[in-house]
Amino acid sequence: MTEAKPDLLGSLGGAFDEHHPPARELVDDCVHCGFCLPACPTYSLWGEEMDSPRGRIYLMKEGLEGEPMSPSLVQHVDACLGCMACVTACPSGVQYDKLVEATRQQVERRGAEHRTRGQRLLRSAIFALFPRPERLRLVRPLLALYQRSGLSRLVRPVLARLSPTLATMEAIAPPVGPRVPVPALVPAVGVQRMTVGMLLGCVQREFYPGVNAATARVLAAEGCEVVVPPDQGCCGALSVHAGREAEGLDYARALIDTFSETGVERIVANSAGCGSTMKDYADLLADDPRYAERAADFAARSRDVSEVLAELEPVAQRHPLPMTVAYHDACHLRHAQGVKAQPRAVLATIPELVVKEIAEGDMCCGSAGIYNLTNPEPARELGDRKAANVAATGAELLVTSNPGCLLQITDALGRQGREMPTAHMVLVLDASLRGVGPGDLLT
């Protein structure tokens, strides 16, 4: 499906055009009880009704009833993290995820002029780079050179005065290590129990390549043949979550094509935001006669890596990992996918590993896709709050399942002078399977 130009779409007479406005019946599901308010990070930061889920739904209702696309609507929708904590908290089952996704598409088409020029340029730059692994690859040597030069000490204070966004980009950039290629086919160890396809991701592939290699190793160790199409692109998650519908759907179609001939039983993501979007492909491509059926099939086979590992009875030998870790739930795993028990179940199979819960575990760390770049100040406040709660656990290592959270919390811990290392969950399981002890994870 090709996205129609705004002037070719009929207007509903208010903020929204006729192409997938927020659905009236979903808006009407909200009974204004306010149970979601304490769960909402932006309401918690500012205490403003219009920065709560209930307030944002009210703005959508006004838009459906004839109010124009206003700077206020754009501002409050842009200030939402899309963390979906409100979806988990709502006792009435309001599908805020569907509502905000539809509203963001409308804002992109009809309200972008209400953003500052700087914001528009920033968004263009983000989407020209982050969903493009081949471009991220070009950034790697430049970033490595910068990191080795020691210029950071001089540059950081200047950026902090010039632009919070550039300062955030500089601060969260992970140390550039060697690339770790993942073979196109990793055979199962022992008896083959499943064939899985693996998503490489964009940031994950270029800046956390060890995570993809470890994901393939642990799946293979548990009896999975792992198929990794080397020419795969972005899954579209960043674009879809930002309302860039046409771009996101093009990425989704290309990824469906990439995996279409592989015959895999599951398609595994190790990045929460990617997995959540892949599971949404059925809805996203429902209007596309060429892809609707294949998208539904792809979505039905999509899983987070922890779901596949928890589904398979463990067969690979676990070696003791005598250490204490704090587990952070990525919002797009816990709230958007409802995957909370599985990562904990996987970690529980590791002898002598102690897993601590983090206070305010439902609360977003402020990473939220591109949020820490487009809204650096509130993202920083949420990052600081998360880092303090992580440090209070007394754990030796912070574990999570999303590259964005790893970047954000590592930066926040460092800013507070708390030198706690961080790692993706599969690296912890991989260390146990390889019997290397905690040392590998703590350096």
240 interacts with ligand SF4 by CB under 6 A: no
Q: With respect to ligand SF4, which residue has the nearer C-beta, 80 or 102?
A: 80
Q: Among the candidate windows 84-92, 234-242, 317-325, 382-390, which touches ligand SF4 by CB under 6 A?
A: 84-92
Which of 26, 59, 64, 90 is close enough to bind ligand SF4 by CB under 6 A?
Answer: 90
Q: With respect to ligand SF4, which residue has the nearer C-beta, 80 or 269?
A: 80
Q: Could you tell me how many residues of this chain bind ligand SF4 (CB under 6 A)?
A: 25
Q: Among the candidate windows 33-41, 289-297, 340-348, 420-428, which touches ligand SF4 by CB under 6 A?
A: 33-41
From residue 91, alpha-carbon distances to 54, 102, 138, 229 in Å are 13, 22, 47, 41
Q: Is 334 helix (H, G, I), strand (E, B) or coil?
A: helix
Least gap, CB of 51 to ligand SF4 (angstroms) = 8
Instruction: Report the C-alpha gap between 78 and 276 in whole angstroms.
Output: 20
Which of 94, 171, 220, 226 is close enough to bind ligand SF4 by CB under 6 A?
Answer: 94
> Which residue, chain included where needed, has tokens 């499906």?
1
Q: Dihedral through CA 274, CA 276, CA 278, CA 282, nearest 10?
A: -160
Least gap, CB of 86 to ligand SF4 (angstroms) = 3
Least gap, CB of 339 to ligand SF4 (angstroms) = 17
279 interacts with ligand SF4 by CB under 6 A: no
Q: With respect to ligand SF4, which residue has the nearer C-beta, 79 or 214?
A: 79
Q: State the maximum Cα–Cα separation within the chain, in Å, rounded to a whole number.
A: 64
Q: Among the candidate windows 4-12, 52-60, 291-299, 374-382, which touches ligand SF4 by CB under 6 A?
A: 52-60
From residue 173, alpha-carbon distances to 142, 203, 409, 411, 422 in Å are 12, 10, 12, 9, 14
Q: Among the candidate windows 27-35, 194-202, 271-279, 409-417, which touches ligand SF4 by CB under 6 A?
A: 27-35
Contact 54, 40 (CB under 8 A): no
Q: With respect to ligand SF4, which residue has the nearer C-beta, 361 or 437?
A: 361
Q: CA-based angle 354:358:363, to the nearest 5? A: 150
Instruction: Report the C-alpha gap between 434 and 410 in whole angstroms.
Output: 25
Which of 10, 25, 32, 439 is close enough to bind ligand SF4 by CB under 6 A?
Answer: 32
Structural tokens at position 212: 């993809």
Least gap, CB of 89 to ligand SF4 (angstroms) = 6
325 interacts with ligand SF4 by CB under 6 A: no
Contact partners, residue 69, CB within 8 Å, separation at least 6: 14, 15, 16, 63, 106, 107, 110, 111, 114
36 interacts with ligand SF4 by CB under 6 A: yes
40 interacts with ligand SF4 by CB under 6 A: yes
- DSSP category for residue 70: -
Instruction: Report the C-alpha gap between 177 and 157 in whole angstroms.
Output: 25
60 interacts with ligand SF4 by CB under 6 A: no
Q: Element (H or E) spanning 225, and its range?
A: strand 224-227
Q: With respect to ligand SF4, which residue has the nearer C-beta, 79 or 203?
A: 79
56 interacts with ligand SF4 by CB under 6 A: yes
Minimal CA–CA distance to 427: which of 414, 418, 440, 409?
440
214 interacts with ligand SF4 by CB under 6 A: no
33 interacts with ligand SF4 by CB under 6 A: yes
Q: With respect to ligand SF4, which residue has the nearer C-beta, 85 or 326?
A: 85
Q: Element (H or E) spanning 370, and its range?
A: none
Least gap, CB of 100 to ligand SF4 (angstroms) = 6
128 interacts with ligand SF4 by CB under 6 A: no
Instruction: Report the C-alpha gap between 250 and 325 in whole angstroms.
Output: 39
Q: With respect to ligand SF4, which residue has the nearer C-beta, 40 or 353?
A: 40
84 interacts with ligand SF4 by CB under 6 A: yes
Structural tokens at position 390: 């992580």
Q: Element (H or E) spanning 78, and its range?
A: helix 71-78
Q: Element (H or E) spanning 274, and its range?
A: helix 272-279
Q: With respect to ligand SF4, which residue has the nearer C-beta, 40 or 122?
A: 40
Q: Among the candidate windows 83-91, 238-246, 340-348, 355-363, which touches ligand SF4 by CB under 6 A?
A: 83-91
Binding site for ligand SF4 (CB under 6 A): 30-36, 39-42, 53-54, 56, 80-86, 90, 92, 94, 96
